[in-house]
Amino acid sequence: MNIMIIEDQRDVVEMLRLNWSDSRDRIDYLTSMRQASRFIHSNELTAYDCILIDINLTDGSGLELLRDARSRSDVPIVMISGAGDADSRADAISVGADDYVMKPFSVKELRARVHRLHDARVSRNPPRQSTAFKIGKIDCDIGRLSLGYNGASQPLTALEARILQVLHDSAGQDCPKSSIARQALFREHDPRDKTIDVYINRLRGKLTELNAASGDAIKTIRGVGYRLSDTQQQSE
C-alpha cells in the first residue's frame, strides 16, 4: 500500500514510520496545509491507497483538506486528532472521513484499520482485467499489450502499457512524472533518471508509426510531466 500522512508534528510522523512494521507499505508525508492542498489537487492523489490527515494543522484545517480530497476521490481517509469529542468525530465522519483516531494511538491498531479500509475499497471496486481505449485513431488494448490501427499493430511491453494506463487515467490533465514513476515504475521519481522520457519517446514512435497524427496525443508539460489528449473509452 501507498500511504500519505499529512501531519505537522514530525515526531508523530517518525513514530509512525518507525513502528509501522509492514515492509509492503510505503509511507510518505507532508507537513503543511500548502503542500497538502497542492498534493490533493494534483494527479498524485490517485497513487495512494490511504491518507491520514491531522485535523489541527498549524497553517490550516485538516477538515478542509478532507472536503477537498473527498470531492476528488474515494480514497480511504483517516483523521487524526490530539483533542476532540463525539461531536468533532461526528463532524469528520459527516464530511467524509472513513475513520477517526485520537492521539496517542496504537500504531498496530491504526495499521490494522488502514488495511481494513483498503481491503473494503478493493472489494467494492475490483480491478478490471483489461482496459481498451483509443489514442487518437489508434486502438490501445492494455490487456493484450497491443496498439492497433487499420489492420496494422504494434506490441507494447508491460511497462509501456502501465505508462499508457497512468496517462489515460489522467487524460486531459497534467500527469506528473512522480505519479508515473510510482504507478508504472513502482519507485520514487528521480529527476536525474530519464527512464520515463525514454519510454514516452518509444510510445510516441509506436503511435506515429501506426498513425502520424495520433503520435501527437502525448504532450510534454514542461516542469511537470505529460498529458494525454484525444482519448476515448471503448466498450468491452
Cis peptide before 155 (omega within 30 of 0): no
Average pLDDT of the chain is 87
Q: Residue for cell digits 489514442?
A: 135
- Say if residues 160 and 202 touch (Cβ distance below 8 Å): yes
- At 203, the pLDDT band (50, 70, 90 cuts) reads very high
Q: Indicate if the pLDDT at residue 235 is higher than 80.
A: no
Domain extent at residue 97: 2-124
- pLDDT higher at 137 or 231: 137
Domain co-membership, 152 together with 178: yes
The model's confidence at residue 86, banded by pLDDT at 50, 70 and 90, is low
Domain boundary among 66, 90, 124: 124
Cell numbers standing for residue 87: 461531536
At residue 129, the pLDDT reads 46
pLDDT tens-digit map of 55-75: 989 888 999 999 999 888 888
Cα(173)–Cα(43) distance, integer angstroms: 8
SS3 letters for 207-219?
A: HHHHCHHHHHHEE
Length in residues, the chain: 236
Domain boundary among 124, 143, 167: 124
Are residues 138 and 61 part of one domain?
no
Tens of pLDDT, residue by residue over 1-47, are: 889 999 999 999 999 999 998 888 889 999 999 999 999 988 788 88
Give 107's pLDDT tier (boundaries 50, 70, 90).
very high
Same domain, 162 and 188: yes
Region 67-91: what's the mean pLDDT?
Answer: 83
- Are residues 186 and 111 located together in one domain of the fold? no
* pLDDT-derived band at 229, boundaries 50, 70, 90: confident
What's the pLDDT score for residue 197? Answer: 92
Helices (H), 41-150: 62-72, 86-95, 107-124
Chain segment 141-168, per-residue pLDDT in tens: 988 889 999 999 999 988 899 899 999 9
pTM above 0.85, yes or no: no
Where b means 16+ CB within 10 Å and e means fewer, 138-177 reads: bbbbbeeeebebeeebbebeeebbbbbebbbebbeeebbb
Q: What is the pLDDT confidence band of residue 122, given thresholds at 50, 70 and 90? A: confident
* Residue 84: CATH number of its domain: 3.40.50.2300
Q: How many structural domains does the chain have?
A: 2
**Long-range contacts (CB closer than 8 Å, 24 or more residues apart) made by 96-104:** 96/66, 96/67, 96/69, 96/70, 97/66, 103/12
Q: Is the pLDDT of residue 170 over 80?
A: yes
Q: Give yes or no for residue 236 having a pLDDT over 60.
A: no
Query: CB of 64 within 8 A of CB of 39?
Result: no
Nearest-angstrom CA–CA distance, 169 and 163: 10
- Give pLDDT, residue 15: 93
**72 and 14 inside one domain:** yes
In whole angstroms, give the CA distance from residue 65 to residue 34: 10
